[in-house]
Amino acid sequence: MQKALVSVTGQDRVGIIAKVSASLSQQNINILEISQTILDGCFTMLMVVDIAGAQENFQQIATRLNEVGKEIGVMVNIQRMELFAAMHRV
């Protein structure tokens, strides 16, 4: 298991979850958890994913997700999960 966090923020529209999930699926990345909300009118989705099964390296995964984001007009980033655990859990 190699956990990472995919964060998606931007203007809400039809098909954001579908597009991002499709890209993750194509890259053989398993979604473990999803939370999604509208914060101050801004679409905000956080997905915890497992990238252990992905064929490509981290940089390539990040690039693909950035491209999906550009296609649908939102920001899609991926970061290793340890970052958040380090900051918020002792």
Partner 1 sequence: MLEANEILQTIHMIQDQHFDIRTITMGINLLDCRKNTDAETAECVYQKIVRMAGNLVKVGCDLEGEFGVPIVNKRLSVTPVSMISGSDPVRIALALEKAAEDVGVNLVGGYGALMHKGGTNAENVLLESMPEVFASTQRLCGSVNVGSTRSGINMDVVRKMGAIIKRTAELTADQDSFGCAKIVVFANAVEDNPFMAGAFHGPGEPECVINVGVSGPGAVQRALEAVRGQPFDVVAETIKRTAFKITRVGELVAQEAARRLNVPFGIVDLSLAPTPARGDSVAYILKEMGLEMAGAPGTTAALAMLNDMVKKGGVMASSHVGGLSGAFIPVSEDIGMIEAAQAGCLTIEKLEAMTCVCSVGLDMIAIPGDTSANAIAGIIADEAAIGMVNNKTTAVRVIPAVGKKAGDSVNFGGLFGFAPIMKVNTFCNDAFIERGGRIPAPLQSLRN
Which positions lie near partner 1, rule CB under 8 A?
5, 7, 33, 35, 37, 39, 44, 46, 58-59, 62, 77-80, 82-89
State the minimum distance, in angstroms, from the CB of residue 39 to partner 1: 8
> Minimum distance from CB of 8 to partner 1 (Å)?
11
Alpha-helical runs (H) found in 1-90: 16-26, 58-72, 82-88
Closest CB to partner 1 among residues 46, 72: 46
Sheet holding 74-80, edge to edge: 30-39, 42-50, 3-11, 74-80
Which of residues 17 and 84 has its CB atom nearest to partner 1 in the complex?
Answer: 84
Query: Which of 36, 48, 61 minimizes the C-alpha distance to 4?
Result: 48
